[in-house]
Structure 1
Amino acid sequence: MSGDRAQILCWSRELEQLHGRFSHRFTRSEPRETALAYLRGLLAPLGRKNGWTLAEQAGHAAPDRIHRLLNRIEWDADGVLDDVRGYVVDHLGDRDAVLVVDDTDFLKKGARSAGVQRQYSSAAGRTENCQVGVFLAYVCRRGRTLIDRRLYLPTAWTDDRQRCRRAGIGDDTPFQTKLALAREMVRRAITDGVPFLWVTAGPAYGFSASWRLELEEADVFHVMATTRHETLVTRWAVDHPVRDLFDELPRDQWERRPYGDAHGGRTADWARVEIRPRHRADRTHWALARRSAGCPDDVSYYVVYCPARTGLDELIRVVDSRAALEECFRTARQECGLDDYQVRRYPGWHRHMTLAMAAHACLTVLRARQRSTKESQRIAGSADDRDPRESDT
């Protein structure tokens, strides 16, 4: 058997095992089989992964079965997501993992797709007609993948119930900010017992003092990006804009460190200042700053709650986890069809995202296993290369 064929069979079996975890979520055989075909298509080397190409990949004469899976047949996408998250925890679970929150947008035409409107697109760098999804990623030593998702609905949608009904959005679906969606996803991960040590998010989420307090009260460690204007209470109970804490900081208080391969191995100057009185001797709060080595005016700020003895390198690792989420978005789009969907309805969006995330989780687990195998072979090879006269003692 050739190596390529063996790899294909291995990947196919892994995908079938993942599918087996949630096949009970489908009460009929047709959607159950179509879901597996959908997953196979999402991982296939296709230029575009829309209804027609996925149907052709599955051997269907038309995309009708694909459309029924996403739009008509009843099945529990949130239940499938629970099963996918369980799969991630079983294969990648790590007590030192980081939960990372961020959103991404999907450019769309027209006004009928759920949640679509003219809003800022980070991908385009300008205001565009798009949908925005808020996602939660699981980042650990063995890999990183997406474990939760929510479609953001602007008030222009939630204030128009007839428009919502046409897009499959229930009357009981309220307006929620992106921050509220993020908080819900992290709460769900905590409730479901997902193993992790840290939570991190960008300034659009991390600026929320109420969310940081909620996490602190649950003793959840976090490194949350914030804006330079946010005022913080120091040990002397004086409110300071966070940037003022670092503007006059002596040079010897800054440490130059790399901050991850995800950033191309760049370096930056890092400093931290203790803030807030300690409520527990074994916990502390920091204001953390990262200053570009090449452009000193480029400074990012963070608010930290952590064990008292946490080192700077660990905080940098958590900050760098945000880049891992960007990698998740990129690979999920390029290899798992995250943005190649042709659904307009609210349930269909969540169904496609769930299956694309399942495909990405499978890919992540397979690659983690390959890396582990190669590392084991490397270690074994190093042992074989030793002089047999050498003693193990």
Structure 2
Amino acid sequence: MWTHEDCVGAAGHSVDAARWLAMFDRAMARIAGRFKRVEPRATARALVLALLSGVERKNCWRMAEQAGYARPGPMQRLLRSARWDADAVRDDIRSYVLEHLGADDSVLIVDETGFLKKGTASAGVQRQYTGTAGRIENTQVGVFLAYASSKGRALIDRRLYLPDASWCQDAERRARAGVPEQAEFATKPTLAGQMITAALDAGIGASWVTGDEAYGQDPGLRTMLESREVGYVLAVACSTRVRINRGRTAARADAVADRLPASAWHRQSAGAGAKGPRYYDWAWIEIGAGGHRHLLIRRNPSSGELAFYLCWSPGRVPLSELVRVAGIRWCIEECFQAAKGQVGLDHYQVRHWTSWHRHVTLVMLALAFLAALAADATPARVAELNRPARSTDPIDLSVPEIRHLFGALLIPSSTSLYRLLHWSNWRRRHQATARRSHYRLRLAGPSTG
């Protein structure tokens, strides 16, 4: 562990080692009551620390070695047979995210991700399409709900998709994989609706929901959101039929786009990307009556490729708000990337229904903790520097950089904290230089249309 001198040597840096470790202790204390015995409670702490470490493959064997255990048994028992409720811990994570990332501009995002498998015994596995591979593969599919705001983003709920014919109707296979009797077939939009309903009932005050075509095409999900007076910007296929001219005419979405005049298109940014603002051309058309329902169309300025969204809001909103929500949908892809690349979302070697939910839940906790650290380390947090930001300042700490730094804090190291932070600053200064170059190139082009 770092010495007091190391921490003093880091003065002026946005990393406060003692504060980070204290925040971790508070995060683990939040879920401590979910474990009735001290052994699984301690193992859960060790497992989350291992998820946050730099160990390359975050399966039970590697994490047990990282934690100093003689064998993986304790962690395997934690995921399979120890007595604790993963759904209750999920609820704690949801409230933790709201506490650290909550903001008035929050959006709930639904999406799915695949977990490639080789065998047939893992709960829910079958040959099915997954965007992870971009084709049909032998895979498990998890449907997730993310919370995104100006303070950050994190995953707050999960459901394992259970195919109907190959799993729900095969009692013997269900029993071997530990699928509970009450688990019934549900479509992915139905699973998404269950998670959104649970989040809203728990006090998540998001005003918007967004998702891709798999969810936008489902009328039941849209109806549920309207009944809860939650606005949505949901992607749909180009073949979707909408009613224009105050409901008097029905037409395909792509046919509507083809008839729009040049004056209908407005160039706006869908948010900042790694290489600068993400500019697209946008058009919106009222569908139905009342002014609360729109077809939103996005056009790529370079390729001309079109994307379509069905939108509804309890009150009138400007085009810029719909564009903002549509752009936020990519935040869940960033969550998946961080969860898989940093804290081992897809590194598990478990087959059991309970084990899958427990592993994924603890990964969500690790990711939420990193998001909380990132929010805590923003420029607002380091205002004690008492000076305006300079062009040579490094970019804000990212989740991968925080995971790297926090992982180094967990184990004794011959590298001093001063040198570790020196390299952190060096990397982020160079990243800032690259980003400024990308921004200059992007902003040099036309920004209105």
Could you tell me the TM-score, scaled by structure 1's length?
0.92
Q: Which residue of 2 aligns with 1:266?
A: 278
Q: Which residue of 1 aligns with 2:159?
A: 150
**Which of 191, 196, 201 in structure 2 is aligned with 1:181?**
191
Residue deviations 1:172-216 (CA, integer Å, cap 9, x gap): 211111111001000111111112111001011011123212211
How far did residue 374 of structure 1 move? 5.3
Contact 1:145–1:364 (CA under 8 A) maintained in structure 2: yes
Contact 1:11–1:366 (CA under 8 A) maintained in structure 2: yes
Which moves more between the two structures, 264-273 or 67-76?
264-273
Distance in structure 2 (CA, Å) of the matches to 1:309 and 1:170: 44
Contact 1:119–1:130 (CA under 8 A) maintained in structure 2: yes
Matched, 1:361 2:333: no
Residue deviations 1:100-148 (CA, integer Å, cap 9, x gap): 0000001111001101111112122221111100000000000000000
Contact 1:89–1:195 (CA under 8 A) maintained in structure 2: no
Q: Which residue of 2 aligns with 1:320?
A: 327
- Identity of aligned pairs, percent? 42
How far did residue 27 of structure 1 move? 0.7
Q: Which residue of 2 aligns with 1:106?
A: 115
Q: Matches of residues 214-229 of structure 1 in structure 2 within 5 Å?
A: 214-229=224-239
Distance in structure 2 (CA, Å) of the matches to 1:106 and 1:8: 34
Distance in structure 2 (CA, Å) of the matches to 1:209 and 1:320: 22
Q: Which residue of 1 aligns with 2:251?
A: 240
Letter in 1 for 2:138: N
Local SS of the residue matching 2:387: helix
Q: Matches of residues 362-381 of structure 1 in structure 2 within 5 Å?
A: 362-373=369-380, 376-377=383-384, 380-381=386-387
Q: Which residue of 1 aligns with 2:398?
A: none
Distance in structure 1 (CA, Å) of the matches to 2:174 and 2:141: 16
Local SS of the residue matching 2:96: helix
Local SS of the residue matching 1:144: strand
Distance in structure 2 (CA, Å) of the matches to 1:14 and 1:307: 38
Distance in structure 2 (CA, Å) of the matches to 1:194 and 1:337: 27
**Which of 252, 256, 275 in structure 1 is aligned with 2:267?**
256
Distance in structure 2 (CA, Å) of the matches to 1:244 and 1:193: 41
Letter in 2 for 1:120: Y
Matched, 1:91 2:100: yes
Contact 1:262–1:323 (CA under 8 A) maintained in structure 2: no
Distance in structure 1 (CA, Å) of the matches to 2:273 and 2:388: 28
**Which of 223, 238, 257 in structure 2 is aligned with 1:213?**
223
Q: Which residue of 2 aligns with 1:122?
A: 131
Matched, 1:292 2:300: yes
How far did residue 372 of structure 1 move? 4.0
Q: Which residue of 1 aligns with 2:358?
A: 351
Distance in structure 2 (CA, Å) of the matches to 1:167 and 1:21: 30
Letter in 2 for 1:195: G
Distance in structure 2 (CA, Å) of the matches to 1:139 and 1:228: 27
Distance in structure 2 (CA, Å) of the matches to 1:211 and 1:153: 19
Q: How many residues align?
A: 377
Local SS of the residue matching 1:260: strand
How far did residue 373 of structure 1 move? 4.1
Contact 1:167–1:345 (CA under 8 A) maintained in structure 2: yes
Which moves more between the two structures, 139-148 or 11-20?
11-20
Could you tell me the TM-score, scaled by structure 2's length?
0.81
Distance in structure 2 (CA, Å) of the matches to 1:94 and 1:30: 37
Letter in 2 for 1:160: D
Local SS of the residue matching 1:243: helix
Distance in structure 1 (CA, Å) of the matches to 2:264 and 2:73: 63
Matched, 1:382 2:388: yes
Unaligned ranges ≥5, structure 1: 384-393
Local SS of the residue matching 1:271: strand
Matched, 1:276 2:284: no
Contact 2:229–2:314 (CA under 8 A) maintained in structure 1: no
Distance in structure 2 (CA, Å) of the matches to 1:146 and 1:324: 10
Q: Which residue of 2 aligns with 1:47?
A: 56
Residue deviations 1:233-291 (CA, integer Å, cap 9, x gap): 2214322212222111000110112222237433211000011111xxxx611100001
Local SS of the residue matching 1:105: strand
